[in-house]
């Protein structure tokens, strides 16, 4: 059948099972929006307040559902406003397809109004970027984009379509989406045999879980492995929920703001089993001394990650879930009572701790965990509140913490929360932000209000850029250069003006009733929580230091 390019785009979205897209219209993409109007009963379009909000919403939708997120933008500034969200998705391996419309082909390369080479701009932060120059290539290019986005190590793909192509007609033939198979061809028996030998020989094994376990859906296999070989488990920010936060074998996050039990355990173990993690500098600290007492076994779908940041003793390349399935067929049950007892001693000796005499971020998050029974989807922005959310909310299952781990994008969380709520409307969704982050994309509150779905926005309002100030306190002689937000912004009034309910929380006894009200509400509710500007995140490993240099407030007092 003959369809316009715009109609072909929407039909291809339907082919791929897309039910929700996020975007913002403009002149170059008007044909696509006109087609979306005709398909409005089949595909929900969420009009965000800013294109960056659309990219973060598509990202949050993808992380929460496991499906490909889709965002749309017009040419020029509309397209460039997507770049931060695309880069965020790229760093965290999130499947996303961004569709932009450019000026017509006769106007390309002429510095035309709102013309920009978006395919070139995003090349370093996408798995692939296309510009469609012929309408006969349009459908297959979109199909290929979805396949690339979700195959192997997932990531974002951009498809740029000139306006004249969206308006011309061409024959469209429906096609079933290509099957995306798990990466198993690269799994070699000699590698799995070596891995098995290392696991059998280890007396002090430690399992280190990254975001690849979430992506591959390997949570059950990871849990079985830990119990089979009686190994403690730590995770990265991206690996949260793979292993239950309340399990006795769980030691907490590892790295710069990891628990002492995790940082010391990784340092002391004799085998570190690394599952779907890329050895970020925020995790490893000093790479020369990272896990220096251990042999390191790395399992990852991406061969480029092997020996990139940390030299390992052995590796298996392939989908983590599939590799673990094969290993579990041959791994015997093994107990390490002395090692487990030592780890439990570390957990008892060095628990997470905070000031219980005043309103703090950890108190708010612990109360949120209690009232939601750990069943909410939590999104965050970046900073102290992000670390507190990682430390004090106990994640039961994967895809329940949505956060910018690699790029560290301030302003990410609210858009991601909207995407998550659209993808999983049955779940309670809470975005946790600092006041500095909230300012960056708080206009998306209007989007949340228009969607009319329950969504809770917690603002940890300390009137400073908290994490940067913490570094200034510890390493810059308390010279607070440009980190004090001493203005008259009122988040309660602002939130109400954007269509949300809002509550100011200034005391510990305010927290529970405010959260209960928010959990019972039908639309978005903002909790403006005023906390002290000098609260810090502990434990902490200074950048580039050894993991066993981890310190907390008690250590600082002793040192002083």
pLDDT confidence of residue 554: 85
User: Which CATH code for domain 361-530?
Assistant: 3.40.50.970
Best CA proximity match to 48, nearest among 38, 60, 39, 57: 57
pLDDT (tens digit per residue) in 27-56? 999 999 999 999 999 999 999 999 999 999
pLDDT (tens digit per residue) in 204-253? 999 999 999 999 999 999 999 999 999 999 999 999 999 999 999 999 99
DSSP 267: H
Q: SS3 for 180?
A: coil
Mean pLDDT of 57-82: 98
pLDDT confidence of residue 559: 73
Q: How far apart are CA 492 and CA 453, in angstroms?
A: 19
537 close to 470: Cβ distance less than 8 angstroms: yes
pLDDT confidence of residue 280: 96
| pLDDT confidence tier of residue 112, bands split at 50, 70 and 90 | very high
443 close to 49: Cβ distance less than 8 angstroms: yes
Best CA proximity match to 434, nearest among 359, 531, 539, 540: 531
User: Which CATH code for domain 189-349?
Assistant: 3.40.50.1220
Q: How far apart are CA 276 and CA 301, in angstroms?
A: 7
45 close to 447: Cβ distance less than 8 angstroms: no
Q: How far apart are CA 1 and CA 162, in angstroms?
A: 22
User: Cα dist. 129→124, 146, 335 in Å?
Assistant: 9, 12, 49
Percent of the chain with pLDDT over 90: 98
Q: How far apart are CA 388 and CA 364, in angstroms?
A: 10
pLDDT confidence of residue 341: 98
Annotated active-site positions, please?
51, 113-114, 163, 467
277 close to 210: Cβ distance less than 8 angstroms: yes
Buried b (16+ CB within 10 A) or exposed e, 473-504: eeeeeeeeeebebeeeeebbebbeebebbbbb
**Residue intervals in the chain for CATH 3.40.50.970:** 2-171, 361-530
State the angle between helix axes of 444-451 and 51-65 in degrees (0 to 180), rounded to the nearest 10: 60
Q: How far apart are CA 296 and CA 18, in angstroms?
A: 40
Mean pLDDT of 303-321: 97
pLDDT (tens digit per residue) in 457-511? 999 999 999 999 999 999 999 999 999 998 999 999 999 999 999 999 999 999 9
Q: State in words which class domain 2-171 has.
A: alpha beta
Mean pLDDT of 379-393: 98
| pLDDT confidence tier of residue 560, bands split at 50, 70 and 90 | low
pLDDT (tens digit per residue) in 437-453? 999 999 999 999 999 99
- Sequence-distant (6+) residues with CB within 8 A of 548 are 263, 264, 267
Q: How far apart are CA 44 and CA 64, in angstroms?
A: 17
312 close to 287: Cβ distance less than 8 angstroms: no
User: Cα dist. 154→84, 182, 194, 511, 560 in Å?
Assistant: 17, 11, 27, 39, 47
**Residue intervals in the chain for CATH 3.40.50.1220:** 189-349
Q: State the average pLDDT for the chain.
A: 97
* E-only strand ranges, 270-349: 271-275, 295-300, 314-317
């Amino acid at each position: 059948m003959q369809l316009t390019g715009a109609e072909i785009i929407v039909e291809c979205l339907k082919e791929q099972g897309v039910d929700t897209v996020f975007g913002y219209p403009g002149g170059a993409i008007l044909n696509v929006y006109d087609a979306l109007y005709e398909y409005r009963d089949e595909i929900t379009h969420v009009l965000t307040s800013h294109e960056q909000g659309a990219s973060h919403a598509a990202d949050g939708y993808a992380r929460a559902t496991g499906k490909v997120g889709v965002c749309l933008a017009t040419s020029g500034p509309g397209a460039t406003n997507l770049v931060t969200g695309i880069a965020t998705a790229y760093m965290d391996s999130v499947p996303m397809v961004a569709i932009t419309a450019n000026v017509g082909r006769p106007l390309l390369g002429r510095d035309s109004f709102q013309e920009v080479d978006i395919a070139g701009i995003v090349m370093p932060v996408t798995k692939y970027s296309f510009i469609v120059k012929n309408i006969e290539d349009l459908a297959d290019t979109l199909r290929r984009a979805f396949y690339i986005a979700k195959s192997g190590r997932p990531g974002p793909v951009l498809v740029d379509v000139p306006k004249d192509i969206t308006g011309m007609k061409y024959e469209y033939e429906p096609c079933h989406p290509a099957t995306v198979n798990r990466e198993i061809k690269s799994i070699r028996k000699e590698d799995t045999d070596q891995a098995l030998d290392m696991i059998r020989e280890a007396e002090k094994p430690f399992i280190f879980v990254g975001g690849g376990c979430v992506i591959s859906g390997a949570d059950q296999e990871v849990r079985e492995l830990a119990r089979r070989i009686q190994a403690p488990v730590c995770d990265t920010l991206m690996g949260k929920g793979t292993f239950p936060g309340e399990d006795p074998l769980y030691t907490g996050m590892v790295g710069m703001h990891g628990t002492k039990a995790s940082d010391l355990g990784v340092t002391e173990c004799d085998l570190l089993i690394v599952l779907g993690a890329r050895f970020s500098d925020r995790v490893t600290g000093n790479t020369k001394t990272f896990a220096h007492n251990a042999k390191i076994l790395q399992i990852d779908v991406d061969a480029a990650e092997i020996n990139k940041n940390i030299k390992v003793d052995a590796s298996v390349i392939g989908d983590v879930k599939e590799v673990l399935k094969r290993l579990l067929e041959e791994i015997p049950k093994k107990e390490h009572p002395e090692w487990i007892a030592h780890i439990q001693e570390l957990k008892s000796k060095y628990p997470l701790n905070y000031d219980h005499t005043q309103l703090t971020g950890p108190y708010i998050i612990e109360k949120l965990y209690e009232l939601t029974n750990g069943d909410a989807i939590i999104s965050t922005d970046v900073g102290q509140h992000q670390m507190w959310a990682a430390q004090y909310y106990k994640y039961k299952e994967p895809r329940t913490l949505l956060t910018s781990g690699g790029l560290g994008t301030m302003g990410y969380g609210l858009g991601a929360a909207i995407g998550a709520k659209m993808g999983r409307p049955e779940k309670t969704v809470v975005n946790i932000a600092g006041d500095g982050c909230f300012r960056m994309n708080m206009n998306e509150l209007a989007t949340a209000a228009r969607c009319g779905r329950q969504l809770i926005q917690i603002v940890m309002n300390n009137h400073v850029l908290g994490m940067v100030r913490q570094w200034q306190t510890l390493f810059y002689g308390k010279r607070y250069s440009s980190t004090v937000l001493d203005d008259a912004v009122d988040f309660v009034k602002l939130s109400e003006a954007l269509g949300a309910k809002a509550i100011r929380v200034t005391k510990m006894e305010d927290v529970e009733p405010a959260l209960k009200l928010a959990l019972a509400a039908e639309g978005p509710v903002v909790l403006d929580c005023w906390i002290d500007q000098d609260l810090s995140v502990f434990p902490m490993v200074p950048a580039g230091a050894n993991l066993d240099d981890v310190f907390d407030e008690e250590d600082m007092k002793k040192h002083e």
